[in-house]
Amino acid sequence: MILSTLEQILTHISFSMVSAVIILHLITLFVNEIVGLYNSLEKGMIVTFFSITGLLVTRWVYWKHLPLSDLYESLIFLSWSLYLIYMIPLFFKKEKNSLSTITAPSAIFTQGFATSGLLTEMHQSGILVPALQSQWLMMHVSMMVLGYAALLFGSLLSVTLLIILFQKDIIRVFDKRNLLLNESFFFSEVQYINEKGNIVQNVSPSSVRNYYRSQLIEQLDHWSYRVISLGFIFLTIGILSGAVWANEAWGSYWNWDPKETWAFITWTIFAIYLHIRTNKNFRGANSAIVAFIGFLIIWICYFGVNLLGIGLHSYGSFTLTLN
């Protein structure tokens, strides 16, 4: 009883912290940067991280199995993994990390989605069906979700890279129109857009700006590559341990079950990404496009298959609420 109350309290704390952090993010987005606000953002994220950790541990103790048995729990775990990715650079480097601008919102959105009303029906299921009672549950699901988190984050970096690259074209279009119309008062606006476009805010001449821009692109490119490689390892281990588990529980290590097929497709897409990276000419935009496709595929694999409610992997899917 105490534990379930604690769980409630932690859920509420983390959810209200998340709401606060979102509001702060919006403020920093619209109003210019305030240092104090940024610090409190960080603190908010840390508090949320610990309350989610507490939430997961409480569920673990209360239900006596790892909280990964249904969609709600795996979503919470996904957002926990994203928080983890957000926290790691904080521990290693004290400096402000530009990557956190991507991790923070994605962690928040995942958690917001998990806690929102859509899935409330499922919060209390809490028992394990026979097929899930195995040591492999921990290994397989945690590896898969960690892999999803890392791959999602890595491909989000690539998406950012694409946006930055693409934005240049937009700006060029703006510039052309500007020249065409020859209206000087538009200029300040274009200048403003340029300024917003470059995360490194700099009003200095364009060459310096281009330097920062290309450096940022290079960084994004590199980090998305590293994070995706890491996620790929988790995904590989997750799929393989799942195959071993399937051989224990279902009698065959590969059934071409929809979820398995889509996990394989995800794996293939990111294998293609890693191969494209080996060719120097295809780095940057080309590999980023592949990563973007991978980003969509992960969501199909993670949600789409459960939405259809087909196959052997339909634990804790949306159809559960219908029964």
Which residue ranges make up the site for another protein (CB under 8 A)? 125, 127-131, 133-134, 136, 219, 222-223, 225-226, 229-230, 232-233, 236-237, 239-240, 243-244, 247-256, 258, 261-262, 264-265, 267-269, 271-272, 274-280, 305, 310, 312, 314, 320, 323
Residue with tokens 């995904």: 235
Q: How far is the CB of 56 from another protein (least distance, A)?
A: 22
Question: Rounded distance, CA 278 to CA 123, Å?
Answer: 44
Q: Tell me the HSE value of 5 on the side-chain side, using a 13 A CA sphere.
A: 2
36 versus 251: smaller Cβ distance to another protein: 251
- Residue 173, exposed/middle/buried by CB under 10 A (0-12, 13-18, 19+)? exposed
124 versus 184: smaller Cβ distance to another protein: 124
75 versus 305: smaller Cβ distance to another protein: 305
Exposure string for 32-46, b = 16+ CB within 10 A, e = fewer: eeeeeeeeebbebbe
- Residue 188, exposed/middle/buried by CB under 10 A (0-12, 13-18, 19+)? exposed
Q: Is the dihedral of CA 117, 121, 127, 131 positive or negative?
A: negative
76 versus 137: smaller Cβ distance to another protein: 137
19 versus 247: smaller Cβ distance to another protein: 247
Q: How far is the CB of 322 from another protein (least distance, A)?
A: 11
Q: How far is the CB of 164 from another protein (least distance, A)?
A: 17
300 phi and psi, to 5 degrees? Answer: -60, -45
Question: Rounded distance, CA 198 to CA 23, Å?
Answer: 23
Q: Which two tokens stand for residue 299?
A: 């969501």
20 versus 320: smaller Cβ distance to another protein: 320
Q: Are 264 and 240 in contact (CB under 8 A)?
A: no
Q: How far is the CB of 107 from another protein (least distance, A)?
A: 22
Q: How far is the CB of 91 from another protein (least distance, A)?
A: 16
Q: How far is the CB of 231 from another protein (least distance, A)?
A: 11
